[in-house]
Structure 1
Amino acid sequence: MDQIDAKIAAILRNDARISYKEIAERIHLSANAVAERMRRMETAGVILGYHARLDPHALDLSLQAVIDVKMLPGVTAQAFEATLQTIPGVVEAVLMTGSFDYMVRVACANQEALVRLTENLRARGGVQDTNTRIMLRSLQIAAPLI
């Protein structure tokens, strides 16, 4: 990946729906050259997909929280991650160092939904302890790299 590819990637991080022509105008290439570079980045696995950022409030998911999860000894990360993928409301999970194994970000309609989600998580097995923190505000500093 060269500097031109990096510029294309930076533009796509902020707006995945931008046209080849608009990218080309910004970086002074032809639209065909941009399209070919993007195809190469897709084939190489640099570009994994194109996604929409959704407003959680518009989806009635205005309560967001982080659940720190400590797993029971012997539970594998793969098994726990497979379980998380079946629980509606789980947005992201990060394997961590420290006293908790995972930081799980969730989005719910209200506190009752958060309680149900947490109970569901604990009922699936493999969870020794949780600590839930409600997010008061979320600030995105830059477009996500991943």
Structure 2
Amino acid sequence: MDRIDREILSLLARDGRLSFRELSQQVHLSPNAVAERFRRLQADGAIRHIRATLNPAALGHALEAMIEVKLQSDTAALAFETALRHLPQVVSATLMTGSFDYAVRVACADRDELVQVTEHLRQKAGVRETYTRLVLREVQLATA
């Protein structure tokens, strides 16, 4: 991977809708050369997905929170991750080191829904303990 590949990745991370023509103008290569690099970056696994980043508030989920989770000793990580897939409020989950096992980001309509999600985690997803913090603002800094 060279400087141009990294520049293409950076541009796509900011706006995944850029066409090969638009990318080519930014990196000073032909659209065909950019397309070849794009396909190689996909094949090599550098580009896993191109997807839309949704605004939870626009979808009626104005309350976002980070729920740190400690699993019960008999709960396997994969079983917990499977249980999360049944909760539409879950935006992402990250397996962590430290005091808690996971950081789970959720987007809820209101506090009542957040309580329901937290109770569901405790009662049906093998969670022993939670620590919840509300998200006030998120600033995207890195593109990778």
TM-score per shorter chain, which class?
A: over 0.9
What's the % identity of the aligned pairs? Answer: 49
**What residue is the counterpart of 1:92 in the other structure?**
92
**What residue is the counterpart of 2:25 in the other structure?**
25
Per-residue CA shift, 1:51-73, capped at 9, x if unaligned? Answer: 11111211111100011111111
**Shift in Å, 1:74:** 2.5
Task: Find the aligned partners of 1:49 and 1:140 in 2 and give their Cα distance.
Answer: 18
**What residue is the counterpart of 1:79 in the other structure?**
79
Per-residue CA shift, 1:6-37, capped at 9, x if unaligned? Answer: 11101100010011111101111000000111
1:12–1:18 CA contact under 8 A, matched in 2: yes
**What residue is the counterpart of 1:122 in the other structure?**
122
- Normalising by structure 2, what TM-score? 0.94
- Structure 2 CA distance for partners of 1:73 and 1:28, relative to 1, 3 Å: same
- Normalising by structure 1, what TM-score? 0.93
Counterpart check, 1:137 vs 2:133:
no
Task: Find the aligned partners of 1:129 and 1:49 in 2 and give their Cα distance.
Answer: 33
Unmatched 5+ residue regions in structure 1?
none
Task: Find the aligned partners of 2:59 and 2:142 in 1 and give their Cα distance.
Answer: 23
**What residue is the counterpart of 1:45 in the other structure?**
45
SS of match in other structure, 1:128: strand
State the number of aligned residues.
144
**Shift in Å, 1:101:** 1.0
Give RMSD over aligned pairs: 1.2
Counterpart code for 2:85:
Q
SS of match in other structure, 1:98: coil
**Shift in Å, 1:86:** 1.7
**Shift in Å, 1:115:** 1.0
Task: Find the aligned partners of 1:102 and 1:88 in 2 and give their Cα distance.
Answer: 17
Task: Find the aligned partners of 1:18 and 1:125 in 2 and give their Cα distance.
Answer: 40
Counterpart code for 2:49:
G
SS of match in other structure, 1:118: helix
4+ runs of 1 displaced by more than 6 Å? none
